[in-house]
Structure 1
Amino acid sequence: MKMSQWLDVCKKTVNAWSDDFAPSMGAAISYYTMFSLAPLLVLVIAIAGFAFGAEAVRGQISSQLSTLMGPDTAQAIEGMIESASLSDNGWWASALSVVVLLVGATSVFAELQSALDRIWHVPESQKPSGVWGILRARLFSMGLILGLAFLLMVSLAVSAGLAAFGSYLGGLLPGQEAVLQILNTVVSLAVMTLLFAMIFKLMPTAKVAWRDVWVGAVVTAALFEAGKFGIGMYLGKSGLSESFAGAGALVILLAWVYYAAQIFLLGAEFTKVYAQSHGSAQSKRAAQPAEIPTKSTVGTDQSSGQTPTASTLLQPSDLRQRLVAASAEALPRLVLLGAITLLRVMADTKVKEEEKLLRAARRRAG
């Protein structure tokens, strides 16, 4: 591709990012991530811990988080991980904790899939719905968690190998620190590229060709690696943590998650624009109009100078169909959430009763 073509793709990417309400979608992803981060890390640590040990994996994650967000935020995340860890209060509480962990860890992936479907303008009729659709999406999210744990293990193995290589070289190679830093950056880029490639290929309902996925994944990984220094400098010099006192660590974490979500959405938009302009989807880009409203479809009508009303945006039959589909999708989630909440309350009650009996037995023994 020529430079002018790349610039055209970048311009269309930014326009599509704005047209698809990416800032609002990023806020939704950040909200789900805040509640899914702790259970997700617990599962990743548990899976990767089989190969390297839970303490080594947790130390590596803590080190990376401390480098990216600062020691206070890393410590806050460690506290979240401790609180979300599996309970040792009997098999009933442990089993319930596993269920809560799985549901919590996969919630953010469901929101990512929804965002990708919106970016690719997937029709409502093609989106998974019903109980089976939700269960299938959750199982698929578990597969992505396994893939994330595998990439973490690869990163740990390569980091250990680079450390051993640096120790072996000792003072033999001038500037070895710079060489090792470059190698670490290359490894980080490769791991992030694989992660984004898995998400861009496997998560959306739309079929995306691998050749389009790899281009988008490389660009997204490069944006993330380049941008993390910028957001780090901003957070370090803005005094954001001091402005919110005790909640500073949480605010920094939220800012980081929101930034990462915007990079992810921008990379997804780039992948779509590239696929439609120069990739495998050139012949399909105008096949069907988007069912999901964008800024260009809900804004002021330039030809008439009037703001369209709801009746001009949606026909009654379309509105009823969307309401029925939304209700059918929301009902199983509400039932599942209610059941989990009820089970959690029952488990907490049982644990409190056991603790009360244990304290009474200790008093009698004393």
Structure 2
Amino acid sequence: MRINPKSIWEMLKATAKSWNDSDPFRQSAIIAYYAIFSIPGLLMIVIWVAGSLFGPEAIRGEISAQVSQFMGPEAATGIEDLLANVELNDSNFVMKTIGVLTLIFGATTLFFQLQKSLNYIWDVESSPENGIKKLILDRASSLGLILVIAFLLLITLVLSAIISILGNWIDNNFGDVLLYAVQLLNFVLSLGVVSLLFAVMFKFLPDVEISWKSVWVGSIVTAVLFSIGKTLLGLYFAHADPSSSFGAAGTIILVMIWVNYTCLILFFGAEFTQVHARKYNHKIRPSKHAKWRAEHILKNMEDKPEPIKD
């Protein structure tokens, strides 16, 4: 597969047009709304799973550090307070079970809605005859994605610890030159972890079957855009302080802005993955529990040339 600058530019233009046509701002606003109700359960599940190896406090500290880096210390404090309010300390087994199920339902709702948005981008929809079965499978896949996030958080935590120790040793023995190389390595590894997360989303979350080749290309492009935007958004949060006018609701506003931005990048990456797959004739078809949307079928019918009459 040969990729030249001209073909990349053509794919980016086609992606931008498809992205704009799919109404991404409305889709991302929907996800941001659901995120407010899903984040407590999502974070608690991640802490329970990842904390089983490194301890809950270490995972809480890593989450707080990441939130502080992305959205500032005020948002990190708000997330810490939120987690403190959803602890399940009740000794009653029934109440704990209900609490756990409620958190799982809330956490999976975010990815359930994200799946619907990705399906809309890919022009597919669930088949009506698979209603209950498909709902259960979707919730299970959403929970699986949360476990993947927990696993990637563990990897990030281990890599951060190793690089921190290596960086201190190099700084003490070799000076700043090699230290920059370690920081570059840290950036590349972080980019790889984020790319893996996006690849899992593009491959398993929407109801389409797509080649891994296009998935990897799309996930790397999405990860690069995400890293650039993350830096710009961090500068915006640090200088503009958009939550200052909202008082106690400031943390919620920051989270919604962040999720909104992330979804816009995610949807652009999904569109790029689709454009790339079609350009290079990679496999794309609905999964066995889904079908093409009517709009997609009509569009293909319009694009087909009329038969030549004798």
Short-chain TM bin: 0.7 to 0.9
Residues 280 and 59 of structure 1: CA distance in aligned 2, closer, same or farther (over 3 Å) = same
Q: Are the equivalent residues in 1 in contact too, given 2:119–2:207 (CA < 8 A)?
A: yes
2:41 corresponding residue in structure 1? 39
Total equivalences in the alignment: 291
1:67-97 deviations in whole A, cap 9, x for unaligned? 1100111111111112222242411110100
What is the CA-CA distance between 1:161 and the residue it aligns to? 1.0
Residues 104 and 128 of structure 1: CA distance in aligned 2, closer, same or farther (over 3 Å) = farther
Greater radius of gyration (CA):
1
Cα distance in 2 between the residues matched to 1:291 and 1:23: 23
Residues 13 and 168 of structure 1: CA distance in aligned 2, closer, same or farther (over 3 Å) = same
Q: Mean Cα displacement is larger for which, 222-231 or 249-258?
A: 249-258
1:204-263 deviations in whole A, cap 9, x for unaligned? 111011000000000000000011111122223324122223322221221111001111
Q: Are the equivalent residues in 2 in contact too, given 1:211–1:279 (CA < 8 A)?
A: no
Residue 145 of structure 2 aligns with an amino acid whose one-letter code is L
Structure 2 matches for 1:297-316, cutoff 5 A?
A: none
Residue 173 of structure 2 aligns with an amino acid whose one-letter code is L
Cα distance in 1 between the residues matched to 2:104 and 2:23: 29
Cα distance in 1 between the residues matched to 2:284 and 2:14: 14
Q: Are the equivalent residues in 2 in contact too, given 1:212–1:279 (CA < 8 A)?
A: no
Structure 1: 5+ residue stretches without partners = 298-366
Cα distance in 1 between the residues matched to 2:40 and 2:285: 43
Residues 271 and 43 of structure 1: CA distance in aligned 2, closer, same or farther (over 3 Å) = same
Structure 2 matches for 1:118-133, cutoff 5 A?
A: 118-125=120-127, 129-133=130-134
Partner SS state of residue 61, structure 2: helix
1:351 corresponding residue in structure 2? none
Residue 223 of structure 1 aligns with an amino acid whose one-letter code is L
2:247 corresponding residue in structure 1? 245
What is the CA-CA distance between 1:22 and the residue it aligns to? 1.1
Identity of aligned residues (%): 37
Partner SS state of residue 244, structure 1: helix
What is the CA-CA distance between 1:163 and the residue it aligns to? 1.6
The yes-or-no answer on 1:137 pairing with 2:133 is no
1:35-91 deviations in whole A, cap 9, x for unaligned? 111110100011001111111111011111111100111111111112222242411
Partner SS state of residue 188, structure 2: helix
Structure 2 matches for 1:177-196, cutoff 5 A?
A: 177-196=179-198
Structure 2 matches for 1:202-241, cutoff 5 A?
A: 202-241=204-243
Of 294, 305, 309, 1:291 maps to 294
Residues 187 and 48 of structure 1: CA distance in aligned 2, closer, same or farther (over 3 Å) = same
- The TM-score, its normalising length taken from structure 1, stands at 0.75
What is the CA-CA distance between 1:162 and the residue it aligns to? 1.0
Partner SS state of residue 280, structure 1: coil
Residues 128 and 183 of structure 1: CA distance in aligned 2, closer, same or farther (over 3 Å) = farther
Partner SS state of residue 206, structure 2: coil
Partner SS state of residue 159, structure 2: helix
- The TM-score, its normalising length taken from structure 2, stands at 0.88
What is the CA-CA distance between 1:122 and the residue it aligns to? 1.0
Structure 2 matches for 1:91-170, cutoff 5 A?
A: 91-125=93-127, 129-170=130-171
2:174 corresponding residue in structure 1? 173
Partner SS state of residue 173, structure 2: coil
Structure 2: 5+ residue stretches without partners = 300-310
Residue 168 of structure 1 aligns with an amino acid whose one-letter code is W
Cα distance in 2 between the residues matched to 1:205 and 1:179: 41
Structure 2 matches for 1:320-359, cutoff 5 A?
A: none
C-alpha RMSD of the superposition: 2.2
Residues 56 and 142 of structure 1: CA distance in aligned 2, closer, same or farther (over 3 Å) = same
1:64 corresponding residue in structure 2? 66
Cα distance in 2 between the residues matched to 1:185 and 1:45: 24
Q: Greater relative contact order: 1 or 2 (C-alpha under 8 angstroms, separation 6 or more)?
A: 2
Cα distance in 2 between the residues matched to 1:94 and 1:52: 23
1:166-219 deviations in whole A, cap 9, x for unaligned? 233342222144233212211210110110000100111110110000000000
Cα distance in 2 between the residues matched to 1:122 and 1:259: 24
Cα distance in 2 between the residues matched to 1:117 and 1:289: 10
Q: Are the equivalent residues in 2 in contact too, given 1:119–1:268 (CA < 8 A)?
A: yes
Of 73, 80, 87, 2:82 maps to 80
